[in-house]
Amino acid sequence: MKVKTIQFTGVGPVRQYEEEYEGVTYYLTPDSHIKLRNLYENSRRYNELYKASQDNFKRPEVLQDCELTRNHQTRLKGVLPKDLCKIFIREGSNSLATIYHPKFMDKLLPMILTEEIDSYICSYFNSEYMLYWYTFLESEADMEKRIVSTYWHCDGGPEKHLKMLIYLNAYEEHGGNTKFLDLHSSTQLKNAGYIFNNVSDRVEDLGPLCRAKGIEPVETMYEDIEAGDALLFNPNQLAHIGVVPDKASRYVLQLCFIPSPYPYQFTREEIWMPKNDSISFDDGPPALLDYYNRNPQEMANRVLIPSTGEIRSPAYLKLLLHNMYSNEHFADLMFERLIELDPDLVELNSIESLMETLKNSYQHSINWQGELGSENIVNLLRLAEYEEEVQDAISRYSTKNKPEPEGIFWPSPDHPTKPASKFDALPFVKKYPIMDMSTPIGSAGSCFAFEIARVFQEQGYNYVVTERNDDPGSKIIVDGYTPGDKYAKFCANYGILFNTPSFRQMAERAFDVKRTKQLLFEQEDGTWMDPYRENVLFLSKDAYFEDYNKHIEATRMALEQTEVFIITLGLNECWQFRDGSVMSRNPRSYMYPLVRHKTLTVQENIDNIQTFYDICKAHNPKFKLIISVSPIPFLATGRADTHHVISANTHSKAVLRVAAEELVNNNEDVYYLPSYELVTECIKDAWDTDERHVKTSTVEQVVNMFKEIFIK
């Protein structure tokens, strides 16, 4: 006999004895069952769980002396109908998704746990119980030899737990089964050290060991098992072995039960959702005992709301009444009256019946003069208001009375009944026909804005142009424009405006509200740059000064003449001079001593565009503003110490999009053009080769959507 100390999973070091009888080697660990019992009953708190479960048991009338309580196992006939077993086999063989869906057990458990079987389990535990886990198991013929359960063993775990094996096909079809030893034989084998040895040391033939130890095992096996029959037993107390199928696959639904202070229905809804795997027994007691030991106030705050929306509990009824009425005293009073009328919530089982009952109660409150008291009037009005709120909530995802029903749910190409692609969508739901092709229209903003301006002019819109650069002697360069070009880049040569302060400053200068300094920066190539007018260069200082007032006048004229003005918001990062004014783009290297980087908030962006709009509206009452967000991403971010440029760009677009939404909500003549959404989501091939700028065809699609929304 060889002896060595091994590390036994869960219980620490144990002494292992290697003994050979009749040519068969057995590895025995006599102390393992004692250590395992201590682990679960004490360390894992199962003793505490047994006590709490028995102390809280309120159905002693169901307890009985039965085969399960005497022998730790019983055979149950016809637990499930045979036709249903065939359906389970078909579903389980194809996909376990149906069987493992939570709704599956909701329907199946009441069918399995009949009054008789419920009584057996309660009698065995002397308490209520809960379903801990369940699995669907297919055992193929001649393949199960590799599974440890096909050797004699007991399941590790608490001393009091039950396993139910529901056979979905008959023994005569597959030849597989389960054999049991009686409790006395199982206990002798535990004491001998066989039962809880390492799983790799299990054997199929216990004869030589039993003969050597003087054990006379008593075996049980049911050979007449039909589809739908079940075996219910304690796998920790009784040694058992899975007999390998030798004809066809065997299909079994396995369920594991442990004691609980609460009925299985309640634990499933409130405390523990059964797992779809034979998990360890570690998590059961904490979940149940933590709930059991909570204070009454905490328990009073727990409300169960079924998926059907039915009112099944007083707690849910009270919650609904407190949602209806702001007067808590009145809500509590109504609750007491309603519970008195319908304590089992037979009639008051839906929100509709509840509101109908409340309305009727007000009719009975009318006095002999046909009037309601002032307090009842307030509460009746609140009930009507609540009813409207509920209907509004219900209608939010309804297609009824929606301007664009297809715009409620994200288009899904693999939808089973209504497949759709986002690339076929135009991301708007309402039209605002505020103009026609002859309406004076203008635009400003990022490079996306002058792309739109070009297409507007090409398509014959009345695009307002108050300043070109057609005089070759002006010594002014407008990037991308050659004197004599047919299409202007902007209404006036204010250049690209990337940030919202630039719009505010443009309107403030145009209408003499506030002037920016006449800053002029020399470039390395000898040209001069106005930091407030990106992409406009001057070949001499004098050219800038001569043009300064002319340009401001041209900008004013453009803002006064246009009736619809489109702005494209580009960035929420900007560079600010010490006097508070902001550059229209990014500084060159020699400008950094004069500026500091700033990230604009949602509110700052709102305030800037609101000021721009208010100034223009004050001088041009016909002025309407259409806001879009440029889909073109950052070239670079000034927040690289904390943000990747892609992350910074996402933040920027989100901030600007929220600001645009608020501006539209706050102003009657401000609208939103979802060009950002169209380009980034709804056009499959939108981008040019640089993956930052959009194709001409993309801009045309934006303008076509503009027509759909705004052209009469």
Residue by residue, what is the 3-state secondary structure of 408-474? CCCCCCCCCCCCCCHHHCCCCCCCCCCECCCCCEEEEECHHHHHHHHHHHHCCCCECCCCCCCCHHH
Residues in a beta bridge with 17: 3, 28
Look at the chain and count its residues.
712
Q: What is the pLDDT of residue 650?
A: 96
Provide the token pair at 218: 């008593």
Regions in the chain scoring below 70 on pLDDT: 1, 4-12, 142-146, 295-301, 363-375
pLDDT value at position 372?
Answer: 47
How high is the pLDDT of residue 96?
83
Q: What is the pTM of this model?
A: 0.59
481 CB neighbour count, 10 Å cutoff: 20
- How far from the centroid of its chain's Cα atoms is residue 290's Cα? 27
Pairing label, strands 536-538, 476-478: antiparallel
* Strands laid side by side in the 162-167 sheet: 73-76, 230-233, 162-167, 250-260, 128-139
What dihedral do alpha carbons 612, 613, 619, 623 form, nearest 10°?
A: 140
Cα–Cα distance list, 173 to 84, 468, 486 (Å):
17, 91, 87
CA–CA separation, 697 and 675 (whole Å):
13
pLDDT of residue 368: 44
Residue 232: its pLDDT value, please? 97
If one counts every other C-beta atom within 10 angstroms of the C-beta of residue 73, the result is: 22
Phi, psi of 520 (to 5 degrees): -140, 125
Q: Exposure string (b/e) for 271-288, b if CB count within 10 Å is 16 or more? A: bbebebebeebeebbebb
Please state, as a whole number, how many other Cβ atoms lie within 10 Å of the Cβ of residue 707: 12
Structure tokens at 288: 């149940």
Beta strands 528-529 and 24-28 are unpaired
The Cα angle at residue 275 between residues 273 and 276, in degrees rounded to 5: 135
Which residue, among 469, 438, 599, has the nearest Cα to 543 in the 3D structure? 469
Q: Are 191 and 30 in contact (CB under 8 A)?
A: yes
